[in-house]
Chains A and B, each alone.
Chain A
C-alpha cells in the first residue's frame, strides 16, 4: 500500500502529465502528415522554439501567463511564414522532398537558436509552486495545472475538429484536398493556417513542459522521436489514435523508469513500437491505404 501511494501513484500521474503534453505535440504532427503527406522533421524545433519564445516574453514582461499566450502566436506566425515560403512550392512533388526540406529547416532553426541564446541549459520557473494533497500523497500544483491545461486543450481541439466549420474543412482537406479545391475552398490557405496551428500547439507543449524539464537547443530532437513513435502507434493520420498512443507512451515511459535504468526505457519504448507494428502494422486506429 505504501509502495502504491508513494511510488506507483505519482509515477502514474507523471505519465499522464507527460502523455497529455506529448499528445499536443503528436496531434499537430499527425494533422500535418494527413494534410501534406509530410512527416515534419522540424516539429521538434517548433516545440523547442516555444520554450525559447517563452523565455524571451518572460524576460520582457515577467509574466508566465503572458508568455503562454504570446509564444504560440510568435511560433505560429513563424510556422505560417515557413509553410508559405518553403512547403507551398512542394505540394505537387513527392512527399520525400517535404521530408528532406523539413530536415534542413530543423537544422537551421536549431542552430539559429543556439547562436542567439547559446547552447547551455536554461530553466523556466513554474508560475506557482506548492503542492496539493491528493489520494494520500502530495503532488506539485504545477504538474496538476499542466495535466488540466493539456486536457482542456485536447478537448478544445476535438471540439474544433468535430463542431466547427473550419475544423470540418481541415478534415475534408485531409480526406481529399483536390475535391475540396474543386468545391471552391482556398486549399493553400487551409494548409498554411493548419501548419501555423500545429506550430502553435507544438510551442505550447514546449512552454508548458519547460518548467518540468530543461530548455536547450537540442530538446526537440529527443521529443520528436517520441512524437513520431506516437503518431505511428496511433495509426498514421488518425487524430484519436495519436492521443491514445500519447498516453500509452507517456505512461509506459514513466512506469518503465521505475524498474529499469532510463537508458533501457528508451529501448523498451522502441521495442513496444516494433512489436505493435509487427502485430498491427497500421497502428491502433490506422486505416488501410492511408499514405502507403
Chain B
C-alpha cells in the first residue's frame, strides 16, 4: 500500500478534502475546483497512454463526451441514480473504446493519433447533428443525480466531493497499474515496441488494455460532468478538447501521473483567470504551450529539478 500511496499523496488528498471546510470559500470556487480536478484526473488517465505507453490519443474528447451524454440521457429520462449513470457510461464508453482501441492500437505513432482523432470526429458529428440528442445544443437543464434515494448531489460541496472521490479512485488505479508488472511492460513498449514483442509479450493486447483503461477512466470523468454542469453538449467531444487534455499532460510533465493532475488544474485555472480579464485568452494558452514545449519539455514537474529539489518519485 505504501508503495502505491506515499505520505505526500495522502497529505495532498487530505488537504483537497478540507477545501470546502475553509471559511469563506465561495460556491463559485468550489465549482471551479471541480472543473480543475476533473480536468486533472482526465489528463492523468491520458498520461497512462501518452506518458507510459507512448501512444498519443487525439480522441479522448470522444470518451469524455460519450460518458457525459450517457449520464445526460439517463438524467433527462428521469433515471436519477448516480450508479445507473456511471454503469451506463461504462457500458457505452467501453463498447466504443473497444472498437477504437482494437483498430487504433494496430498502428503506431502518428497513425494512432490520427485514427483516434477521426473516430472521435465521427462520434462528434453524430451527436452534433442528431436531433434526438439535442443537436448542437446538446441536452440542457438536467436534474440533480441521487447517490441514494433521497440523497441528491445538489450542493457545490457535494459535487466537489464527488469529483474528489473520482480523482482518488482514478489516481489509485493509475498508480497501482504503473507500479505493477503491467505498467513496466507498457514502459517497455514505449521504449522499444519490437523488443517487447521479441521478449514474448503480446504487445497489441497490452496496448489495447492500456487504451481501454484510459478510455474508461476518462469516460467516468465525463459521466460526472453533467452532474455538476446540468448539461452535455457536442462541444465536449470537439477535437480541440482532446488537444486541451494533451496540453494539460504536457504542462504537468509526461509519465508522472501527478504532473498531469497539476497540469490540468493549472490549465483550468489559467483559462478561468485569463478569460475573466481578456477575451484573447487562447493566445495566452497557445503561448504558454509553445513556451513549455520549447523550454520546459518535462513540464511543471521538471521545474522542481531545475530548482534543485529532489526528483519526484521514480517514474516507473
Contact = CB atoms under 8 A, between A and B. Distances in A.
Contacts of B103: 274, 277-278
A107 B125 CA distance: 22
B125 A108 contact: no
Given A100-B246, A111-B286, A263-B129, 16 more contacts: A37-B110, A41-B243, A86-B290, A89-B294, A99-B56, A104-B290, A108-B290, A110-B282, A221-B240, A225-B121, A225-B239, A228-B118, A267-B126, A277-B111, A291-B110, A292-B107
A270 B290 contact: no
Interface string B49-83: 01000001000000000000000000000000000
Interface residues of B, number: 39
Nearest to A110: B282
B286 A108 contact: yes
B97 interface: no
A60 to B, nearest CB: 25
Interface string A91-134: 00101110111011111101110110000000000000000000
B209 interface: no
Contacts, number: 113
A90 B114 CA distance: 21
Residue from the set A93, A100, A271 with the largest chain B CB neighbour count within 10 Å: A100
A89 B292 CA distance: 13
Given A100-B289, A108-B286, A274-B119, A86 B294 contact: yes
A131 B192 CA distance: 59
Contacts of B111: 232, 236, 277, 281, 292
Name the residue among B122, B283, B286 with the largest chain A CB count within 10 angstroms: B286
Contact of A292 (B109, B283, B293): B109
Contacts of B289: 100-101, 103-104, 107
A272 to B, nearest CB: 10
Interface string A229-247: 1001000100000000000
Interface in A269-292: 270-271, 273-274, 277-278, 281, 291-292
B295 to A, nearest CB: 9
B43 interface: no
B247 A100 contact: yes
A interface, over-half SS: helix
A99 B106 contact: no
Contacts of A115: 280, 283
B133 to A, nearest CB: 13
Nearest to A232: B114
Contacts of B117: 225, 228
A55 to B, nearest CB: 20
A169 interface: no
A146 interface: no
Nearest to A271: B122
A116 B115 CA distance: 35
A274 B280 CA distance: 36
Size class of the contact patch on chain A = 35 or more
A277 B129 contact: no
B293 A97 contact: yes
A236 B113 CA distance: 13
A222 B214 CA distance: 27
Interface of B: 50, 56, 103, 106-111, 113-115, 117-119, 121-122, 125-126, 128-129, 239-240, 243, 246-247, 250, 280, 282-283, 285-290, 293-294, 297
Nearest to B121: A270
The 6 closest A-B pairs by CB, nearest first: A104-B289, A107-B286, A108-B286, A263-B129, A111-B282, A104-B286
A291 B293 CA distance: 21
A205 to B, nearest CB: 20
B113 A291 contact: no
A108 B283 contact: yes
A291 B109 contact: yes
B247 A103 contact: yes
A8 interface: no
Given A100-B293, A267-B122, A105 B286 contact: yes
A16 B128 CA distance: 28
A86 B286 CA distance: 13
Contacts of B246: 100, 103
A271 to B, nearest CB: 8
B250 A107 contact: no
Contacts of A225: 117-118, 121, 239
A266 B130 CA distance: 13
Q: Which among B128, B250, B280, B290 has the highest number of chain A CB atoms within 10 Å?
A: B290
Contact of B114 (A95, A228, A271): A228
A252 B243 CA distance: 28
A106 to B, nearest CB: 7
